């Protein structure tokens, strides 16, 4: 069996930063982590597991939507592997039932094909609160029915992971409990719920919140809302650390309130890995300008973000480098039960190299190094 030894100035194993270590790969997988051999010159920078992104709406010029099939998911996964992601949850925003069914079928096919980088699906809607729709089409938002619940449970049986974003106003605690019991990760989002409603949904089994601060009831000193439930509770939460969706001061507050449980998401769209300056979303134009994506009226519509930048933004807001890296690797991987996000024996050799300033400089897929997409 062919062995290869990799070493950088520092190793991040998914939990902590370690100096003087090396990773031995054998046949494309991690065989062991050992002290760096004497005389071996390390690559400058940080050797880390590939990122894990639980909110990826598209890439390579494609959106997850009505035209999605297994081949499209493979293209989206491939472009994100070129952006440093070991794996992603392909994310469908609120759409019609037939589109949801098509994307679920595509996800099942991608899973059966062993598509590299495909960790499962994230269905963000349609069971949301139209008062917090954001860029979602309010005409397609609707409460969850028991038939919807049954279809989601059936889909989970054939997917490696399934996350569902819903609003407590649009689903009952009994439905949330049933989804959770089936292994679905229920995430609260696009909600104008009260603190009591949020806490009841978490008690029923919801495990996290979708893009903290965005499209949710804000923190008030008398009405803490969903934001307050997350900051004062134990549920995990994704956060878009691009300096646009969340002000750095708010990110700092979240990091101080929740030293554990936050994870980074890109919420990226079709433009990821491309030079596109606009793209269509359910018949509307999304414009890419100065690092932000928005509808013509200025409403934010996803993010133009790579996770190494999100890590840097988190560090600037007060996270330690190891904490910020974990927020982009092991924390989200653990939430969905994926084996990605750590450097340990038996794990896939999906590795990245970052420079001292946490810029992504190289990607290793077990075969060799390649540069990231621009």
Rounded CA separation 51/288 (Å): 24
Regarding beta strands 21-26 and 3-6, do their DSSP bridges make them parallel or antiparallel, or are they unpaired? antiparallel
CA nearest neighbour of 276 among 284, 285, 267:
285
Tell me if residue 194 falls in helix, strand or coil: coil
* Whether residue 267 lies in the annotated active site: yes
Do 351 and 23 touch, CB atoms closer than 8 A? Answer: yes
Neighbours of 156 (CB within 10 A): 21
Buried b (16+ CB within 10 A) or exposed e, 78-107: bbbbbbbbbbbbbbbbbbeeebbebbbebb
Which is catalytic among the residues 129, 267, 304, 308? Answer: 267
* Runs of H (alpha helix) within the chain: 70-81, 97-112, 146-156, 173-181, 195-204, 225-232, 248-257, 307-316, 321-327, 330-336
Rounded CA separation 359/34 (Å): 25
Neighbours of 334 (CB within 10 A): 17
Rounded CA separation 18/125 (Å): 40
Tell me if residue 228 falls in helix, strand or coil: helix
| Dihedral, CA of residue 333, residue 338, residue 340 and residue 342, to nearest 10 | 60
> Please, which residues bridge with residue 237 across strands?
209, 262
Show which residues are catalytic. 267
């Amino acid at each position: 069996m062919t062995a290869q030894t990799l070493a950088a100035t520092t190793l991040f194993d998914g939990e902590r930063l370690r100096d003087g270590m090396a990773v031995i790969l054998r046949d494309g997988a991690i065989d062991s982590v050992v002290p760096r051999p004497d005389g071996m010159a390390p690559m400058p920078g940080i050797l880390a597991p590939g990122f894990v992104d639980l909110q990826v709406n598209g890439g390579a010029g494609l959106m997850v939507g009505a035209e999605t099939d297994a081949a499209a998911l493979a293209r989206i996964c491939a472009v994100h592997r070129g952006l440093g992601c070991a794996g992603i949850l392909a994310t469908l925003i609120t759409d019609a039932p037939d589109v949801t069914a098509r994307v679920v079928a595509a996800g099942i096919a991608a899973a059966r094909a062993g598509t590299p980088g495909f960790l499962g699906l994230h269905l963000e809607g349609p069971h949301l609160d139209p008062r917090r729709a954001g860029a979602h089409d309010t005409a397609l938002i609707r409460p969850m029915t028991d038939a919807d619940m049954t279809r989601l449970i059936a889909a989970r049986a054939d997917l490696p992971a399934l996350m569902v974003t819903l609003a407590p106003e649009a689903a009952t605690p009994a439905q949330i409990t049933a989804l959770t019991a089936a292994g679905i990760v229920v995430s609260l989002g696009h909600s104008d719920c009260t603190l009591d409603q949020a806490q009841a949904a978490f008690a029923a089994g919801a495990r996290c919140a979708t893009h903290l601060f965005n499209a949710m009831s804000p923190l008030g000193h008398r009405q803490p809302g969903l934001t307050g439930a997350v900051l004062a509770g134990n549920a995990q939460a994704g956060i878009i650390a691009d300096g646009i969706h969340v002000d750095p001061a708010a990110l700092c507050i979240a990091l101080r309130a929740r030293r554990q449980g936050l994870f980074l998401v890109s919420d990226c769209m079709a433009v990821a890995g491309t030079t596109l300056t606009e793209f269509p979303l359910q018949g509307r134009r999304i414009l890419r300008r100065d690092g932000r994506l928005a509808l013509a009226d200025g409403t934010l519509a996803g993010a133009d973000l790579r996770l190494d930048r999100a890590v840097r933004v988190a560090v600037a807001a007060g996270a330690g480098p190891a904490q910020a890296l974990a927020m982009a690797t092991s924390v989200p991987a653990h939430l969905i039960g994926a084996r990605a996000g750590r450097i340990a024996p038996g794990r896939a050799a999906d590795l990245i190299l970052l420079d001292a300033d946490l810029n992504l400089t190289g990607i290793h897929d077990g075969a060799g190094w390649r540069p990231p997409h621009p």
